[in-house]
Each structure stands twice: as structure tokens, then as C-alpha cells.
Amino acid sequence: MKTASMIFRQLFEPVSSTYTYLLGCEESGEAVLVDPVMPAWQRDLEAVSALGLKLVMTIDTHIHADHITSASMLRREAGSRIATPALDGLPCTDVAMHDAVPLQVGGLRIDPMHTPGHTDNHFALLAGDRVFTGDALLIDGCGRTDFQSGDSRALYHSVRGRLFGLPDDTLVYPAHDYNGRRVSSIAQERARNPRLGGERSIEEFVDLMANLDLPYPKFIDYAVPGNRACGECPQDLPPSLREYCPEMAESPQG
């Protein structure tokens, strides 16, 4: 596989254990942030500037339940455009992503892959030999399917039918890891992902996902409406959740 000429940074946001990805085109000086997170918006913008780049687009892979996107904040501060899945139909979006319709940013080509299951409208993003798998495929794991529009059957097909069809050496960059792992490859996940790899059948997977017995996500009731507005912090956020929206906490309304 030929690797594209792409500036690349993996940035970790510790409140929600989210990886944000900075992709840059050296020729045009333009940059994209994938899944930027509210508490880290200034850090992310500084990372773009430190590379001599200009932020022109943010992309959210899906409507997150565990953090609020900084897409709107970055549009206000840096003039970047907001890309989200077309199927979500969010009025705050500038660029509606469709399956297999590439986003072109300078010399950077990003191919959105509709990969429903964690949410119905979830996208993975392929750029050269790197795939940003959002919450569909995690290292040795996958996103949960028991809230929002989750559907474990759909996720099985998205991961095994689409993502595992990418070339072996495609680098897998997930939206989260809770154990400090940062990168995997399609060959690795296809062979040893304990939920979706090897010979795992769809019925086994559906059963496994139905019995994870996970706690209710503590931020979901704020995150989903906040992200449907492309990243607005709710005014009624309890003090215990303020770290998700530190800007608001510092404002007069906070």
C-alpha cells in the first residue's frame, strides 16, 4: 500500500478517553480535525498552528454520547467548516457526509465509510492507509450498541463486511481506548479482535453485545442534544459534569 503524503497527529483527550486526529496537507497548509472534543479545543487549535497549518474542517464520525464535540467552537474561533453524517440531517452542518463521496482538503482525500451499528449514521473515515474507525471498531473491542440507535447486527456487518475488507496493513485508529493502546491494523483486528475477529458468528456477537451489562452512560443525556447542535454545552450541566464543558464553567452563566 502506498502511504499518502499526510501530516498526522494523534491527540488524546483524557476526560472521555477520546482520540482526536489531526490530518494535514503539507502542500496546501490545510488541516482537518476528526472528532475534536470540547475540553481540548484550545490544545487542538494550538497543535494545528504549531504545524504551520490552518484548520479548515472538523469531522464528527457520529453523534457522540460520551463527550461534546468542539466543532461549533472551532468554527467560531478558526472559521472551520463542520462535516457530519448527512443522514443525521443536522441544520448546523456545513458539509453533509455521504458514503463513498470523498472529502477533498488540499491534496488530502478522505473517504467516508457508512458503518452503522454503534449509531445508525456512524461513519469511519479512510485516508490513505489509515482508517479512523470512530466507535465502530476499537482495538480488541467495539463501541456499545445498547443506546441511541445502536444495532449489533448492523455493527457486525459494518466491521466484518466493510472495515475488515480493507487491506491487511491499513492502520486502525479508533476514537477511544481506555488502556493506552493507540493503533492497530486491519490484519490484527481481523485475526484477534475478541468480539468481532476470527470465526465469530453474527448470532454469537448479538448475544455477547446483549449481555455486556454496562452502566448507563453518565453524560449521554447532555451529550446527545449538545452534539445534535454541533457542540453546544447545556446550560443545566450539574457541577459533577463540568469537566466536559470547562469553557461554560468559566463563563458568567456557569
Closer CB to a second copy, 36 or 231, in the complex: 36
Closest CA to 117 of 191, 178, 195: 195
Closer CB to a second copy, 179 or 240, in the complex: 179
Q: Which range in 114-122, 179-187, 205-213, 225-233 contacts a second copy by CB under 8 A?
A: 179-187
C-alpha cell of residue 38: 470540547
Q: Which range in 5-13, 30-38, 226-234, 235-243 contacts a second copy by CB under 8 A?
A: 5-13
Closest CA to 219 of 245, 201, 195: 245
Q: Which of 94, 99, 129, 146 binds a second copy (CB under 8 A)?
A: 129
Q: Which of 73, 90, 171, 245 binds a second copy (CB under 8 A)?
A: 171
Nearest approach in angstroms of CB 130 to a second copy is: 9
Measured in degrees and rounded to the nearest 5, phi and psi for residue 231 equal: 110, 60
Closest CA to 111 of 163, 175, 56, 168: 163
Work out whether 99 is an interface residue with a second copy (CB under 8 A). Answer: no
Closer CB to a second copy, 136 or 139, in the complex: 139
Q: Which of residues 185-224 bind a second copy (CB under 8 A)?
A: 185, 187-188, 191-192
Burial of 26 (0-12, 13-18, 19+ CB in 10 A): middle
**Which single residue is written with the C-alpha cell 454503534?**
118
Closest CA to 173 of 152, 160, 162, 189: 189
The binding site for a second copy (CB under 8 A) comprises 1-10, 26, 128-129, 168-169, 171, 179-185, 187-188, 191-192
